[in-house]
């Protein structure tokens, strides 16, 4: 028995069994390794200069290889996270998805309480907001865990609604998803003042709902609600108003370090000074304190300065290759739960990459997120690698066989958006 939800025929029977395991998509690992090595190489050449800049402007006493050593440590932790999620059975995430989400939300709530009480020994403040736990030897950002937990939870939740034929039910699906997203955004955007991470969460949910086959009119309503909420959040924070005003006015201030346009102006200078082939490794000028957050949020600008236009195009091609592998994996999965997991990972990485690069080249307002796999950072690197490890594990269950269900779907509505099941001779894009 099947019912029609919008433009896609969805079976009312239980979620199909997972296909037989086979070799995973090792191209994902290759792209991840290339991006991580690029980031490590650039950081090794910029570490000493960045340490000099910080020592000159603060009371820090960092050695020349301090950032390089930390990034090596973070990279090892990230590889451990990737290996773990690539090996853990998918049933584990199904079983503990609710607990994982509650742990992530609980940690965000705990961080908010510590920040409210100004317990700086346990919570780290940046720009007036508390976003990290202080673990002594390192810091931990619960927002990154929340992204991962949101993927595992929504994948199971939406897969159940797909099996019941209720993915477009307002009360049983859309309102609960809205509540979960609203709670998450409250902690991230309102309390932690992290608009960039909030956009990543929205990207995750949007991609998963699209793959779950949510109707277009609900997407329109969701976008309208999000825009209204964003406007309220922007006007309630002076620093966001400055960034938006700077973005739309196009004004630049390269000298006044307190000006709202300073960051993006220095990023453009870095990219522009790289020219066609770049200045070469170790020859960055902007990393000497001119470009804020040079090895974290602004890493793309440093890449442009060192490698030039050709280097940036190469890096973008690697990202594109990774995204295409994720999309291909979605396209060749029969199980809605597995498709939704990979869709969430794709939404996370693609949104964060677009937001970071868009801000550095001036086509999006500055929000402050890291460039996946490349930027300096511990928690962010750990969880983007863990998320990709989850997609890598799922890639073991792709199939090229033409099933009876896919044939029915292919013939059910030739005019749907991108809903046709893809196999070895088709060019469509599969949704749940």
Q: Tokens standing for 370?
A: 């890291």
Question: What pLDDT score was predicted for residue 422?
Answer: 42
Average pLDDT of the residues in 262-279: 88
b/e 200-219 (16+ beta carbons within 10 angstroms → b): bbbbbbbbbbbbbbbbeebe
Quote the pLDDT of residue 17.
Answer: 52
Structure-model confidence comparison of residues 249 and 22, the more confident one: 22
Confidence check: pLDDT of 267 > 50 = yes
Give the pLDDT confidence score for residue 158 in this predicted structure: 95
- Give the per-residue pLDDT at 238: 62
| Contact residues for 189 (Cβ-Cβ < 8 A; gap 6+) | 195, 197, 198, 233
Two tokens, residue 110? 């705990």
234-266 pLDDT per residue, tens: 666 666 666 666 666 655 444 455 555 788 888
Compute the mean pLDDT over every residue in the chain, rounded to the nearest whole number.
Answer: 81
The answer to which of 18-32, 45-59, 67-81, 391-405 has the lowest mean pLDDT is 45-59
Quickly state the pLDDT bin for 386 (edges 50, 70, 90).
very high
Q: Identify which has the larger pLDDT, 106 or 238.
A: 106
- Specify the length of the chain in residues: 432
**What does the domain layout of the chain look like in residue ranges?**
19-398
Rounded to 10 deg, the angle between the 379-394 and 66-87 helix axes is: 30
Top pLDDT among 33 and 255 is at 33
- Tokens, residue 361: 């080249």
Asked if residues 184 and 326 have their Cβ atoms less than 8 Å apart, the reply is no
Report the percentage of the chain scoring pLDDT > 70: 78
Categorize the per-residue pLDDT at 46 as very low, low, confident or very high, splitting at 50, 70 and 90. confident
Residue 339 confidence (pLDDT): 95
Residue 280 — pLDDT band, cuts 50, 70, 90? confident
Lowest mean pLDDT among 42-56, 228-242, 262-276, 286-300: 228-242
Q: Please state whether the predicted TM-score (pTM) of the whole model is above 0.75.
A: yes
Band of pLDDT at residue 108, cut at 50, 70 and 90: very high
User: Which residue, 1, 14, 12, 337, is CA-closest to 165?
Assistant: 12
Paired tokens of 55: 């020592």
Residue 413 has pLDDT above 60, yes or no: no
Tell me if 366 sits within 8 A of 263, measured CB to CB. Answer: yes
Contact call for residues 246 and 260 (beta carbons, < 8 A): yes
Report the pLDDT averaged over residues 406-410: 43
Question: Which pLDDT belongs to residue 296?
Answer: 85
Q: What CA–CA distance (Å, rounded) separates 195 from 16?
A: 38
| Predicted pLDDT of residue 363 | 84
The answer to whether 395 touches 24, Cβ cutoff 8 Å, is yes
pLDDT digits (tens, 9 = 90+) for 131-187: 889 888 788 999 999 999 999 999 999 999 999 998 888 899 999 999 999 999 999
Angle at CA 86, nearest 5°, toward 84 and 91? 90
Mean pLDDT for the stretch of residues 347-369: 90
The Cα–Cα gap between 16 and 213 comes to 17
Q: Which two tokens stand for residue 202?
A: 């929205």
């Amino acid at each position: 028995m099947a019912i029609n939800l919008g433009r896609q025929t969805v079976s009312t029977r239980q979620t199909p069994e997972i296909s037989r395991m086979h070799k995973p998509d090792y191209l994902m690992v290759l792209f991840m390794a290339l991006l991580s090595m690029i980031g490590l190489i650039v950081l090794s050449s910029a570490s000493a200069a960045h340490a000099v800049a910080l020592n000159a402007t603060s009371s820090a006493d960092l050695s020349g290889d301090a950032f390089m050593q930390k990034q090596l440590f973070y990279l090892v932790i990230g590889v451990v996270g990737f290996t773990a999620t690539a090996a853990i059975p998918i049933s584990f995430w199904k079983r503990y998805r609710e607990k994982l989400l509650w742990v992530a939300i609980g940690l965000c709530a705990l961080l908010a309480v510590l920040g409210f009480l100004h317990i700086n020994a346990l919570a780290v403040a940046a720009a007036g907001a508390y976003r990290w736990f202080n673990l002594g030897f390192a810091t931990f950002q619960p927002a990154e865990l929340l992204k991962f937990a949101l993927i595992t939870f929504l994948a199971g939740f939406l897969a159940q609604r797909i099996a019941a034929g209720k993915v477009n039910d307002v009360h049983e699906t859309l309102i609960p998803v809205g509540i979960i997203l609203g709670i998450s955004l409250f902690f991230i955007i309102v309390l932690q003042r992290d608009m960039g991470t909030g956009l990543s969460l929205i990207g995750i949910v949007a991609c998963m709902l699209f793959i779950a086959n949510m109707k277009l009119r609900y997407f329109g309503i969701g976008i309208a609600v999000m825009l209204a909420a964003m406007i309220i959040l922007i006007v309630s924070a002076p620093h966001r108003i400055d960034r938006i005003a700077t973005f739309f006015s196009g004004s630049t201030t390269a000298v006044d370090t307190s000006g709202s346009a300073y960051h993006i102006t220095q990023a453009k200078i870095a990219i522009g000074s790289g020219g066609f082939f770049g200045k070469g490794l170790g020859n960055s000028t902007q990393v000497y304190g001119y470009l804020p957050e040079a090895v974290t949020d602004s890493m793309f600008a440093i890449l442009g300065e060192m490698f030039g236009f050709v280097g940036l195009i190469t890096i973008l091609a690697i990202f594109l290759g990774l995204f295409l592998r994720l999309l291909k994996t979605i396209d060749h999965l029969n199980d809605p739960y597995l498709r939704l997991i990979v869709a969430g990972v794709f939404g996370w990485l693609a949104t964060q990459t677009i937001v970071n690069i868009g801000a550095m080249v001036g086509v999006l307002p500055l929000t402050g997120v890291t460039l996946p796999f490349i930027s300096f950072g511990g928690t962010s690197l750990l969880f983007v690698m863990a998320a990709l490890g989850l997609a890598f594990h799922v890639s073991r269950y792709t199939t090229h066989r033409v099933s009876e269900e896919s044939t029915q779907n292919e013939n059910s509505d030739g005019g749907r958006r991108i809903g046709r099941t893809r196999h070895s001779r088709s060019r469509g894009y599969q949704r749940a």
